[in-house]
Amino acid sequence: MKLRIILLVLSLLAFLSASTGGYLYYSSLKESAFEEADRQTSLNGERIKNHISSFLSEYLKSVKTLAGLNELRQSLVSLDTDSIAKSNFILDHFRDTLKVDVCYLMGHTGRTIASSNRNNPDSFVGKNYSFRPYFQQALQGSPSIYMALGVTSKKRGVYYSHPVYGTEKDFPEGVVVIKASIDLLEKDIGQTYEGIVLLTDPNGIVFISNHKNWLYNSLWRLSHETKSRLARTQQFGNGPWNWTGMIRKDMTHAVDKSEKQYLIREIAIENYPGWNVVFLRTEKEITGKFLDPLMKTTGSIILIICILIGLSVFYLYRKASHDIIQRKAAEEALRVSEEKALALLNAPTDSALLIDTQGKILALNKPAADLFYKGIDSLVGMSFFDLFPKSMAKRIRAHHNEVIHSGNPVRYEDKRKGRYMDTNIYPVFDSMGNVVGVAIFSRDITEQKSAEEELKQAKEELSNYSKDLEKKLRKRTKEITNIIRNTPAVVYIKDQECKYIMVNPRYEELYGITNEHIQGKTDYEVFPKQTADRFRAVDSQVFNEGRFSQVEEHIAQEDTVHTYLSVKFPLYDEDGDVHSLCGISTDITELKKAQDQLRRLSAGIMNSQEKERAAIARELHDELGQVLTALRMDSVWLKDHVAKNNPEAGKRALSMCNLIDSTLDQVRNMAIRLRPGVLDDLGLIDALEWYAGDFEEHSGIACIFSHKNSPHINDMLATAAYRIAQEALTNVARHSSATQVDIMLESTNGMLTLSVTDNGNGFDIRKLAESGGLGIAGMRERAGLAGGTLEIKSKPNKGTRIFFRVPNQDKLQGKHSNDQSTVSR
């Protein structure tokens, strides 16, 4: 009896143990199922997000190019039949080439004057869309990307708008729009995904979904004001935008009107605030996919299994727990690795490929596939070198082999189908440090090359023009006795009453009056009063001060307004008294045009430099930083796994971790100095505060930053002011031997002033070359391109002070304050 009781108790204990183990195993599988579903949702969401971001950026350059065509500008100005016909032809060409729904041109009032669908029943011509936000934003001078339902066509699409300027670029004459179909996006989202996939706007309106009955419904409850605003813009038709009944319980859970529980995951679309990719899955759907098959196959024999494994249930439970922990760790490492690979391969601007040591393509992103006009799936597995002509493939293979054998990155430039490409090849190492493949990143630098060539040509033309002008001046000096009669410049002499004594033949030719008839007359008898007033003011200054004056004068002639460089100087009698005035005016109209062109090209180069700095900083921080972080994680893992069995290898692994940490710090510092993110994210004031603290920390020089009135500063002025302050502080650290430097930023009466003052050695301004020394030329050029001036005050042993002044027409943010906000050590 006792033996039976013991066996019964042991059987019950075995059954209870097996049941408990089965329950715990079931719970673990359920938790793992939710984590797997979340991982799959994250990966699918990132892929869809990157696809949407790439699609939304696809036609930005096209609409910008379309807006710059003279034919469209002429249509907006003249509105005649011929010019509108030319615009229609161009719009048709862009529609067919880009394979978009429609391209159309709108006047400044919002009325459509030309469209590629002008012959269709849903034509836009003559209709007014001024209420559309994409028109209003473009008319303010800012390009726009707008996703909406067509008012006339009732078709969804993405609207790309861009302002069209006339000859005067102060205000747009109209707006050009490209509407692209969302079929590709809808097809991508409509693929076989688990659950419900939605693309929602900032108000929660469903714009795209893999379930058609969700379209134009509101995911969340809308306020009356929001509905009224949506009705005015007609972004999604006239409503009523029914509420789905969804209520959020927390960040990852929601419930609908029928009390059905959902897991929700929202992934924001970069650069499009408020737009999200939303995944909805019911908890029953997730658990059913992973657990129902298990229960169906094992339910009938679960009792027998529990009895048979009762004695070993504790061992199996411990082993299962260990396996689950290992599985979670492996899944987390796989998720992190996949997210990094997706982030790398889905870079929105650069072409990225991963190939093995033999040149076989392992993975690539969409920009890389577009370079070869093929799909991603068709390129994976191909030989990378077979995509190029033999001569080019031989050079690329040589670079590839160099990286494989040396383990060092290689950079080179080549030309492909008329486009210049900047290519970087990086080695990919395994855990043993062996090169197992290479990563190739290519960037289109054609526009940069073209700008550099144009700048070089403009400088050569300007240099040739200057040399020719100097030669003419030397020749005229040698032939001074004949200059008045033969010079192409305008020459005249006036007496103390500003009456003409004589003029040269060039003067007679330009103004149609002979020397005999003009003698004894004043400028008021020859020119309009406004022009004569300007001439008289300069003449009076020369007579009163007794020294020469050089001014630019604008004079209307038959063809256009010409610019003259006029030099007026006094003529003295034998007693040294001023008895008359001589003026020489040279036509510099073409020179001014060349200088303006050079200034525009210089601004373009500086803008490209800032973009290049920002791009390099992003690449250093996002790509190289991520790779180094991954290497550090692998090194820590290696140290933890080999330290017990091989202490020496553990020390080497620890050394690798320290070296990677140091490299990460250097990469972050390089990225910050190339283009500090605080300048783009928080503005000039926060950027200068950060840089002052960083300068003091690295140089040991006390640096105090203060500001007044806290103005709103646009990006161009902010970049110019920051770079000028950066160059000034660099000069302080290198040359001044200063112990303190003060930075002051203030805005008064629409004028922004930045000053940098140190107590260092100072220098003699007269000995400073205008075009060189201490980076002064670069600071002056930045100040000039921003529309401001740069002034330098310094004396030996008296320190140095640099002023940057520029008009700032933007409104001040918030309430002005006269208190200083100071950041010191």
The domains of the chain are located at 60-181, 347-444, 479-587, 676-823
Q: How many CA atoms lie within 13 A of 673 on its CB side?
A: 11
Q: How far apart are CA 193 and CA 44, in angstroms?
A: 8
Contact between 104 and 91 (Cβ < 8 Å): yes
Question: SS3 of 823, please?
Answer: strand
Q: Tell me, what's the pLDDT at 756?
A: 94
Contact between 46 and 348 (Cβ < 8 Å): no
Task: Give the mean pLDDT per block of 10 residues along the chain (825 residues).
Answer: 55 68 68 72 77 81 88 87 90 89 91 91 88 89 87 85 83 90 76 75 84 82 84 80 83 82 82 82 69 57 60 51 56 50 54 87 84 84 87 87 89 80 85 82 83 86 84 71 71 88 83 83 85 86 84 73 82 82 81 65 60 61 64 74 77 79 69 60 80 86 87 78 86 88 88 91 74 66 81 88 81 38 34
Long-range contacts of 284-289 (CB under 8 A, 24+ apart): 285/194, 285/195, 286/33, 286/34, 286/37, 286/194, 287/30, 287/33, 287/34, 289/33, 289/194
- CATH number listed for the domain at residues 347-444: 3.30.450.20
Q: What are phi and psi of 817, to 5 degrees?
A: -130, 135
* Per-residue CA distances from 48 to 52, 202, 354, 595, 703 (Å): 6, 18, 21, 48, 48
Q: How many CA atoms lie within 13 A of 246 on its CB side?
A: 23
Q: Tell me, what's the pLDDT at 821?
A: 37
* Residue spans of beta strands (DSSP E) within 95-212: 102-107, 112-115, 144-149, 156-165, 172-181, 196-200, 206-209
Q: Tell me, what's the pLDDT at 705?
A: 92
Q: Tell me, what's the pLDDT at 816?
A: 37
Q: Tell me, what's the pLDDT at 825?
A: 32
Q: Tell me, what's the pLDDT at 545?
A: 84
CATH 3.40.50.2300 fits 676-823, yes or no: no
Q: Tell me, what's the pLDDT at 354?
A: 87
**What does DSSP say about strands 561-572 and 789-794: parallel, antiparallel, or unpaired?**
unpaired
Q: Tell me, what's the pLDDT at 208?
A: 84
Find the length of the chain.
825
Q: How far apart are CA 360 and CA 382, in angstroms?
A: 6
Q: How far apart are CA 650 and CA 656, in angstroms?
A: 10
Q: How far apart are CA 587 and CA 465, in angstroms?
A: 13
Q: Tell me, what's the pLDDT at 820?
A: 37
Contact between 255 and 219 (Cβ < 8 Å): no
- CATH number listed for the domain at residues 479-587: 3.30.450.20
Q: Tell me, what's the pLDDT at 175?
A: 93
**Nearest to 313, CA basis, from 10, 53, 562:** 10
Asked if the domains at 60-181 and 676-823 fall in one CATH topology, the answer is no
Kindly calculate the radius of gyration of the chain based on its CA atoms and give it in whole angstroms.
37
Q: How far apart are CA 160 and CA 178, in angstroms?
A: 5
pTM above 0.75, yes or no: no
Query: How crowded is residue 563: how many other Cβ atoms within 10 Å of its Cβ?
Result: 18
User: In terms of CATH, what superfamily is 60-181?
Assistant: PAS domain (3.30.450.20)
Residues in CB range of 73: below 8 A, 6 or more apart? 164, 165, 166, 167, 173
Q: How far apart are CA 405 and CA 427, in angstroms?
A: 10
| Exposure letters 741-750 (e unless 16+ CB within 10 A, then b) | bbbbbbbeee
Q: How far apart are CA 401 and CA 131, in angstroms?
A: 59
Q: How far apart are CA 462 and CA 123, in angstroms?
A: 51
